Structure 1
Amino acid sequence: MANASPPPECYIQSLLDVDLYKLSMQYAVLEKYPHVNVKYRFTNRSGTKFTRTMYDAVLAAIKHLETLRLQPAERAFLERRCPYFPKSYLDYLSDFRLRPDEQVKVDFVPNGEKDADGTEWGGFDLEIHGLWTETILYEVPLMSIISEAYFTHVDTKWDYVGQFENARQKGLALYRAGCILSEFGSRRRRTYKAHDIVMRGLIKANEECGNGKEGKGGKLSGTSNVHFAQKYDLAPIGTIAHELIMGIAALEGYEGSNGRMMDMWEKIYPDGSLGIALTDTFTTKPFFDDFVSNPERARRWKGLRQDSGDPFKFIPVAKEAFQRVGADPSKKIVVFSDSLDVKRCLELKKASDEAGIGCSFGVGTDLTNDFRHVEQPEQQEHLGDGPIRTEGAKSKALNMVIKLYSINDQFCVKISDELTKNTGDPEAVRLVKRRFGLEDHGAESDAAKWGPTV
């Protein structure tokens, strides 16, 4: 019998090729908001031009999502590695189907440019709509599809040479410095194959460093991607994304929304295993106000995730917050996840150690989309082999997001500690800034302005 042909480029092959926080939030939404409708919208922040051919590939890959099913081995992995998911949720996920024909609308918007060979250029309008419980799983695979389609059909001047060694060397540098690393690169990976090579390189470096048992204890703690966690028997890593807090705030009110999210999350996951709080949905000041208002609750959380703004200013603020609620900062953790590379991780590790607070690192695009322009790409039998490429300009990743746009027809907004990351209807953003007293100064300073210990 002939071997089955390989799947077309950019097709998603597993329902678990998604970040864990999508599953953890899906269960929370299923429990708390099963009948709520939402819309998500795609934003191409850098305005990168796409082609009609790329669009056709994206359409085909989106259509293919309807074929995905949770496989028995995948369910067994979730039962073993994610004991916080009850049987009722795994039953739901086993019966779950994506319905892109009904739930995803994507149009090609030509910009009037056409090359001599007939190549038509433009952009995408993409919207996801439907029940929150059903549409929450689209963001990660859609971004993976768009990225891979772009680097397969538009920017093709690159290859895989040296990718294994590149990931291995980054892993070694981080582990030997005592860094706890989680791979966070699903959404903006260059391709599935690139992601797989990176995972192998990080795992190899982890083995060489004794899996965290030697030296300073640095290690690969796992990956946000549940499929790769299963493939390599790693811990899937993730808790909460901005959209859950955005949705709660739009539905139930902005004041105290971070605290209400924490209360809800503790009821859904009472063992505390997913107790890492995201701090910057409406800048860090409102979060920390909620956090310290209930010291007993705050002490139960394992740590905080820093995802925008100045991470070095965040360290003393996080330390002070833990001290205010009577927690030992050295026994808590800050998870840094904003645009990290090896150099920034090492700097933040040093600063955290000096401050006496725990830390770990979620590194994404710098691992799964670190490539250089190659005029004549090399075809390899074993992808990723060879020395690290050092010549040629950086081949940049796409700068794109898919964000929750509305919930039950109420606009959703995100007011980041980095002003350029703000998303949502402009008037809604203005109103929410006014509610939190943010309109008179830049949000980036909010962590530093949170206030002295009293």
Structure 2
Amino acid sequence: MLHSVLDSDQYKLSMQQAILQQIVKGGEDPLVAYRFTNRGGNLFTRATYEVVLQAVQDLGKLALTKEERVWLEKNAPFLTADYLDYLETFRYKPEEQVSVQYVVVDKDAQGQELGRFEIEIKGGWAATILYEVPLMAIISEAYFTAQETNWDYVGQYELAKAKGKALFEAGCVTSEFGTRRRRSYEAQDIIMRGLIAANEEFGGEGKGRLAGTSNVHFAQKYNIAPIGTIAHEWIMGVAALTGYEGSNGRAMDLWEKTYPSGALSIALTDTFSTKPFFDDFISDPARANRWKGLRQDSGSPFKFISLAKEAFERVGADPKQKIIVFSDGLDVAKSIELKKASDEAGVGCSFGVGTTFTNDFVKVEQPVKQDVPGEGEPRTGEPSKALNMVIKLYRINNEFCVKISDELTKNTGDEETVRVVKHRFGLE
């Protein structure tokens, strides 16, 4: 399932480096806990559970290779030699750090057990931060290979290429962000090949293009840019450790200390909803101007355009020289609409496409096994829906960590702490 320690998202590496440089700094690695939430409520068979268990144990076999380090030195220069030394010695220790429990809650018509997963990751923050993305990829692939198997890869290459063509011809600068909820490693590989082919034929200067992929392994495999900056857990952790007032600004300050070149200066705006973020953002115009742009990940992206433009103008920045990175549940049609809206508003933009690319399948009665997976015409029919799941930072040094999204259904963490933080930010 996992082919490399780099088979993960770039922002996990960049955050791990920031934790080591700004939080640990030669001292104790804060103790954290992550928890799995199955938003879709799917029940899993015991066979799926067994596949997950084995794949989690297999994570312990992964290690950075010499070839991978050389590639990172050239293509991810924001990662320091000290950090790459650390990454070479890094090993997953699933037997110590991961608990995967299977709780039976029902049986199907054939008497087969159906249950839910209770998954917790515990350990030092730097030592465990890389688990989230591969664990989610493992759960998805296990589910769709051991349980829901009425699908196949037929047409996936042409489907991805057609999506890329539509995006690039509409001027959308696009990155592939689909690792966490991919149907399988093979599925993501096919989608990458399709998008790269579309980019070669339809993308380019003055048009839309494929900017890269968040998956560092596939970036190396296809020699394209690894894309990624910050995830919510960075701001969540900083806030829980240092206090919530001004936490977005402190998280940005610590990030700039780690990446003074500004190479990774795309700020994530919705950890505690956008209002507290924009309060911190406009409070320091010089800092705001140093950042390239903002990532929108919940709430209405169309309303966000005007909020971002106003914030850029309030700090004296030209909105046309900044970018909004849209990354919340995008498909082709929505991305093109957002491109038009951003152009009309005079704000730069780019797009991170995920689940609707790497897990866009339909149900078939008789799956076809192909010599070259992905060939053929795209299939049509009833969707084979992706899992809706997250793994979020839950505690750090015994302090609860919460996320208060602009989309209320996405709030995560201890309910009482969510209430307290909402009150603190005037979000009630």
* Deviation of 1:319 (Å): 0.5
Aligned to 1:76: 70
Q: Aligned letter for 1:156?
A: T
Structure 1 match to 2:398:
409
Matches within 5 A, 1:313-328: 313-328=303-318
What is aligned with 1:378?
A: 368
- Which digits, 9 at most, give the CA deviation of each residue in 1:96-152, with x for residues without a partner? 111000000010000132543x52110100000000001000000000000000000
Q: Quick one: which amino acid aligns to residue 263 of structure 2?
A: S
Distance 2:108 2:310 in 1: 57
Aligned counterpart for 1:268 among listed residues 246, 258, 270: 258
Q: State the partner residue of 1:337.
A: 327
Q: Which residue of 2 aligns with 1:212?
A: 204
1:33-432 equivalent positions in 2, closer than 5 A: 33-34=23-24, 35-116=29-110, 118-209=111-202, 211-213=203-205, 216-390=206-380, 392-432=381-421
Letter in 2 for 1:292: I
Cα distance in 1 between the residues matched to 2:204 and 2:408? 37
Provide the C-alpha distance between the structure 2 equivalents of 1:159 and 1:66, rounded to a whole number of angstroms.
30
AA at the equivalent of 1:204: A
SS at 2:15's partner residue? helix
Counterpart residue identity of residue 148, structure 2: D
TM-score normalised over the length of structure 1:
0.93
Taking the aligned partners of 1:332 and 1:33, their CA distance within structure 2 comes to 29
Q: What secondary structure sits across from 1:212 in the alignment?
A: coil
> Structure 1 counterpart of 2:267, which letter?
A
How much identity, in percent, do the aligned residues show? 66
Q: 1:448 corresponds to which residue? A: none
Note the alpha carbon deviations across 1:191-242, whole angstroms, 9 max, x for none: 0000000000000000002x412xx421000000000000000100000000
Deviation at 1:92, TM superposition (A): 0.4
Secondary structure of 2:6 counterpart: coil
Offset from partner CA, 1:359-407 (integer Å, 9 cap, x none): 00000001100000111111111100000112x2111000000000000
Give 3-state SS (helix, strand or coil) of 1:245's partner: helix
Per-residue CA deviations over 1:257-314 (Å, capped at 9, x if unaligned) read 0000111010100000000000000000000000000000000000000000000000
AA aligned opposite 1:427: E
**SS in structure 1 of the partner of residue 71 of structure 2:** helix
Query: 1:403 is matched by which residue type in structure 2?
Result: K
The one-letter amino acid of 2:171's match is G
Distance 1:261 1:239 in 2: 12
Give distance in 1, aligned partners of 2:212 and 2:399.
36
Give the Cα–Cα distance (whole angstroms) in 1 for the partners of residues 377 and 228 of structure 2.
Answer: 32
- The alpha-carbon deviation at position 33 of structure 1 amounts to 2.0
Tell me, in whole angstroms, the C-alpha distance in 2 between the residues paired with 1:149 and 1:330.
44
Q: Which amino acid aligns with 2:114?
A: W
What is the alpha-carbon distance in structure 2 between the residues aligned to residue 438 and residue 324 of structure 1? 23
| Deviation string, structure 1 residues 30-58 (Cα, Å, up to 9, x no partner) | 11222201000000001101010000000
* Counterpart code for 1:150: Y
SS of 1:424's partner is: coil
* AA of the residue aligned to 1:62: V
2:427 aligned partner: 438
Paired letter, 2:405: S
What is the one-letter code of the residue matched to 1:127?
Answer: E
User: Take 2:272 and 2:304, find their aligned partners in 1: how far apart are those partners?
Assistant: 15
Unaligned runs of 5+ in 1: 1-10, 440-454
Classify the secondary structure of the residue corresponding to 1:351. Answer: helix
Q: C-alpha distance in 1, partners of 2:176/2:78?
A: 21
- Deviation (angstroms), 1:335: 0.1
**SS state of the match for residue 110, structure 1?**
strand
User: What is the root-mean-square deviation in Å for CA atoms of aligned residues?
Assistant: 0.8
Q: Distance in 1 between matches of 2:22 and 2:302?
A: 36
**Which letter does structure 2 place at the counterpart of 1:212?**
G
Q: What TM-score do you get using the length of structure 2 for normalisation? A: 0.98
Structure 1 runs (4+) deviating above 2 angstroms are none
Q: CA deviation at 1:154?
A: 1.1
The separation in 1 between residues aligned to 2:106 and 2:254, in whole angstroms, is 49
Which sits farther off after the overlay, 424-433 or 26-35?
26-35
Structure 2 gaps, min length 5: none
Match in the other structure for 1:451? none
Structure 2 equivalent of residue 6 of structure 1:
none
